[in-house]
Chain A
Amino acid sequence: MFTLIKRIFRSGWQSLTRDGGMIVANIFIMTMAISVITSLFLFKDISQFLIQSLQEKVDVSVYFKYESSEEDVLKVKEEIGKIPEVKEVKYVSKEEALKKFTEKHGDNPVLMESLAELGTNPFLASLGIKAFQAHQYEAVVSFLEGPNFNNLIEKIDYYERKPVIERIYGLISNFNRAGIVFSIILALVAILVAFNTVRLSIYNSREEIKIQRLVGASNWFVRGPFLVQGAICGFFAALICLLLFALLTWGLNSKAEVLFPGLGLFAFFVSNLWLILLIQIITGIGLGMISSLIAVKKYLKV
């Protein structure tokens, strides 16, 4: 058995080294297929990160009537904090609101003069509420609109933001869905192309397979070297792909950081290196071996 395995491996490696052109073509096509699969994996995680970071940016502000005391507002804050859908509640007092405004618009003399003319702090105390999911804001808002808080709340800006929030979420989920469907189709096409390349190279060996059978080789003795070749091609394709993606994520890292702050493309790649390598190697070796297995089967009927 050991001798058989040793011979299968030796024969597979020998054919590989003796038919360089075809092997390079196989590795190239497989690299493409594995790249698509890797992109699918990266795309899924990056889009998840984008959704999450957008979700972090969305909140609903509740403005309290001018005469509402800080004590009342903090009571409401406590009540809201108990709602399970609520992730975070942040209190902004009148003074803080004024401070933020002056910090932001300090260099705008018109605004500052108008503020000085008023003589008082015109800003309202507010609560910034963040929910876990976008669709949960509806429940939070309807809770706030209840009779308990009617006399305290001046305005909830949810309805102004609602169309924008929903549009962004709609866009993201559509983009995400379309991206995944497109990537899956692309991956299938890449797999089929890789399969056909392997099939073509085995088609070239059909006469050789027939001879091996006529000389008395068992099916496994014939197909073994092809499987070894397929696996080696897949392995090399996976390594090339890993290197390619390392360079790509490293190169695009700073550009992606500008577009999506905090994304850290290269850091994401490095932290998922083993998983990505595993996906690539499984895809490469699996694709190479399964394609070879199917392609050889046809010529073993001698």
Chain B
Amino acid sequence: MIRLQNITKIYPPKTIALDDVSFEIKPKEFVCLVGRSGAGKTTLLKLLLAEERPTSGRIFFDNQDIQKVKLGYLPELRRKIGAVFQDYKLLPSKTAYENIAYAMEVIGASDLEIARDMTEVLDIVGLTKKAHNFPAQLSGGEKQRVAIARALIHRPEVILADEPTGNLDPYHTLDIIRLLLKINEFGTTIILATHNKEIINSLGKRAITLHEGKIIRDEKIGRFIL
């Protein structure tokens, strides 16, 4: 489903974020990207979302070379992906409800579908009471949950989650991980970037460990070893 071939990303002048990275992710897989801060996890996710372009190498999504997708067609690719960003990337002028619904609006879902799914998703992420708050009126954890809800509401093929539990308390962390596992059970591919030891060790899922832009380990049942 997702294939990276010899991906290198260099930020000018000479910062190597990713160095000759290659791996493949199959449909319905749950993959953890593990590594210290600056290992290249976020860069990798940015490349998958075509937010940035690699310096060299190729990335395939459903056998489609991402670099060859024209700017005007990128939205179609991105609608297949749900992304949870480390810095949430919520729209400040929209309420929590509108932020989540936006992901459905862009795919052209009807108002009825949106209303139906929104009730469900808000309930899942526990934000029903804060649905009409603006991001500035939400805590870090609540923003994180809005971001997660936005990533999953349109039922994407893949969810890219960059430290989705970074700002959550242990109780909500567990909830979010359970939620991601549940989504994965329904057939959505999950790529989770994290440096949370407990999560990696308890998940027992495939883990790709990055160190200074290189893959140093790719295990079927990963453990947190740095």
| A residues neighboring B (CB under 8 Å) | 3-4, 7, 14-15, 18-19, 208, 211-219, 221, 300-302
| CB of B91 within 8 Å of the partner chain | yes
The residue from B93, B94, B98, B111 contacting A3, defined by CB atoms under 8 A apart: B111
The listed residue (B71, B89, B93, B94) touching A214 by CB distance below 8 A is: B89
Chain B residues, CB < 8 A from A302: 51
Cα separation A256 to B133 with both chains bound (whole Å): 56
- A215 near B150 with CB under 8 A, answer yes
B13 within 8 A of A: no
B105 within 8 A of A: yes
The answer, yes or no, to whether B216 is at the interface (CB within 8 Å) is: no
**Are A219 and B93 within 8 A (Cβ)?**
no
Apart from the given pairs A216-B79, A302-B51, 17 other A-B contacts in the complex at a CB distance below 8 Å: A14-B94, A15-B93, A19-B93, A208-B92, A208-B93, A213-B74, A213-B78, A214-B51, A214-B78, A214-B83, A214-B89, A215-B102, A216-B75, A216-B78, A216-B81, A217-B106, A219-B75
Instruction: Specify which of A3, A19, A217, A219 lies most central, judged by the most chain B CB atoms within 10 Å of its CB.
Output: A217
Chain A residue at minimal CB-CB distance from B71:
A301
> What is the CB-to-nearest-CB distance from A11 to chain B, in angstroms, rounded to a whole number?
8
Question: Shortest CB–CB separation between residue A2 and chain B, in angstroms?
Answer: 11
Residue of B nearest to A1 (CB): B108
Task: List 24 A–B pairs whose Cβ atoms lie within 8 Å, in order of A's numbering.
Answer: A3-B110, A3-B111, A14-B93, A14-B94, A14-B98, A15-B93, A19-B93, A208-B91, A212-B102, A213-B74, A213-B75, A214-B78, A214-B83, A214-B85, A215-B103, A215-B150, A216-B76, A216-B78, A216-B79, A216-B103, A216-B107, A217-B102, A219-B72, A221-B105
The CA-CA distance from A300 to B72 in the complex, in Å, is 9
| A7: chain B residues within 8 A (beta carbon) | 105
Write the nearest CB–CB distance from A6 to chain B, whole angstroms: 9
**Alpha-carbon separation in the docked complex, A15 to B108 (Å):** 20
Question: Which of these, A3, A18, A301, contacts B108 with CB under 8 Å?
Answer: A3
Interface residues in B100-121 by Cβ distance below 8 A to A read 102-103, 105-108, 110-111
Say yes or no: is B49 at the interface (Cβ < 8 Å to chain A). yes
Assess the A221–B91 pair: CB atoms within 8 A.
no
Complex CA gap A212/B91 in Å reads 8
Q: Which residues of A contact B49 (CB under 8 A)?
A: 214
Interface size, B (range): 20 to 34
- B93 and A4 form a contact (CB under 8 A): no
| Interface status of B90 (Cβ within 8 A of chain A) | yes
CB-based contact A211/B89 at 8 Å? yes
Closest CB of chain A to B9's CB: distance in Å?
A: 17
The answer for the CA separation of A70 and B218 in the assembled complex, in Å, is: 120
A-B contact count (CB 8 A): 57
| Shortest beta-carbon distance from A218 to chain B in Å | 5
Q: Which of B26-64 contact A (CB under 8 A)?
A: 49, 51
Known: A7-B105, A221-B106, A301-B71. A215 touches B93 (CB 8 A): no
Alpha-carbon distance between A4 and B75 when the two chains are bound, in angstroms: 15
Q: Give the chain B neighbours of A18 by CB distance below 8 A.
A: 93
The 9 closest A-B pairs by CB, nearest first: A216-B79, A216-B78, A217-B106, A211-B89, A218-B75, A216-B75, A216-B106, A18-B93, A208-B91
Question: Of A212, A215, A221, which is in contact with the most chain B CB atoms at under 10 Å from its CB?
Answer: A215
Partner of B106, one of A15, A218, A301: A218
Residues of chain A within 8 A of B107, CB atoms compared: 216
Min CB distance B140 to A, Å, is 17
A217 touches B75 (CB 8 A): yes
Determine the chain B residues whose CB is within 8 A of the CB of A215 once the complex forms.
78, 83, 102-103, 106, 150
B101 to chain A, nearest CB (A): 10
B53 to chain A, nearest CB (A): 11
CB-based nearest A residue for B134: A18
Alpha-carbon separation in the docked complex, A221 to B98 (Å)? 15
Contacts of A19 in B (CB 8 A): 93
Q: Measured between alpha carbons, how far is A14 from B93 in the docked complex, in Å?
A: 9
* Chain B min CB distance to A176 (Å): 48
What CA separation (Å) do A186 and B108 show in the bound complex? 45
Assembled-state Cα–Cα distance A216/B80 (Å): 9
B97 to chain A, nearest CB (A): 12
A213 contacts across to B, CB distance below 8 A: 74-75, 78
Residues from chain A with Cβ under 8 Å of B110 in the complex = 3
- Which of chain B's residues has its CB closest to A300's CB? B71
The distance from the CB of B42 to the nearest CB of chain A, in whole angstroms, is 13
Task: Give Cα A212–Cα B85 distance, bound, in whole angstroms.
Answer: 13
**Measured CA separation A240–B120 after assembly (Å):** 46
CA gap between A218 and B78 in the complex, in Å = 10
Question: 8 Å CB contacts to A: which residues of B130-153?
Answer: 150
How far is it, in angstroms, between the C-alpha of A3 and the C-alpha of B107 when the chains are bound? 11
Taken together as a complex, chains A and B put the C-alpha atoms of A51 and B199 apart, in Å, by: 86
- How distant is B32 from chain A, measured CB to nearest CB, in Å? 22
> In this complex, what residue of A is CB-closest to B76?
A216
